[in-house]
Each structure stands twice: as structure tokens, then as C-alpha cells.
Amino acid sequence: MSEPMWHKQGETLSHNNACKEYGLTEKQIIDAIRQGKLQYKQNYAHGNPYFRLLKEEVKMLAQELLGAKGASEQAIKHQLATISKEINSLKRRLATLEKQRSQLLQKRNNEKV
């Protein structure tokens, strides 16, 4: 892969996110790095090291190790988890906003009296 792929938004991911998103183990990723199947760059977040990987290469590795069906099932499972997390977040935000609205309506009604 060419150098510009490392700088495009959404084209890379950490090895931890690769594990979650594609259903791979950390050992599988490290073995693939050692075999030259995955390019990586080592980065640090808050002093902790992690590998930054190219998403397309991780996707191909997942298909190789899990099969096309297994990789697509894992992708669907990850998307469902992400959507569920977002829905729950929005529900909490909605509850907070409804509480604020009712407090403001109550305050407005008390001031009218």
C-alpha cells in the first residue's frame, strides 16, 4: 500500500479496534504482522503503545482466517453493537432533555401564578 493510505481518514485502525471489529485475536494480528501480511505503524496513546493498521489489509486477513461468511457475520455483529450503543446513548440524551423540558415548563407555570 502506498503512503497516502496512512493519512486518509477512516483507512486505518488500531489493533484493538481491529480485534473488536473483525473478530480477530491479538495473536492473529501479531502473527500476520510477523509474516508480513499486515503493514503497521507503532503509535502511542497516553503513553501506551498500539499498532496502527490499514483497514483494507485487516479486512482481507479476516476473510482469509474466518472465511467470507464468517467475516461478514462479524461485520454485521459489530455494526449491530455500534447501533445499539448509539440508540442507548440517544435514549439517555432524550430522557435528560425531557426532564429539562418538564422542569422549564413547571418553572414557567409557577411564574404565571
pLDDT per residue as tens digits for the range 32-81: 999 999 999 999 999 999 999 999 999 999 999 999 898 889 989 999 99
| Half-sphere CA count of 93, side-chain side, radius 13 A | 6
Residues of the chain above pLDDT 90, percent:
78
Give 42: exposed, middle or buried? Use CB within 10 Å, 0-12, 13-18, 19+: exposed
Domain span at residue 95? 3-112
Residue 72 confidence (pLDDT): 87
Asked if 40 and 50 count as a contact pair (C-beta separation under 8 A), the reply is: no
- The count of domains in the chain is 1
pLDDT per residue as tens digits for the range 14-24: 999 999 999 99
Residue 7 confidence (pLDDT): 85
Residue 1 confidence (pLDDT): 47
- Chain-wide mean pLDDT for the chain? 92
Residues of the chain above pLDDT 70, percent:
96
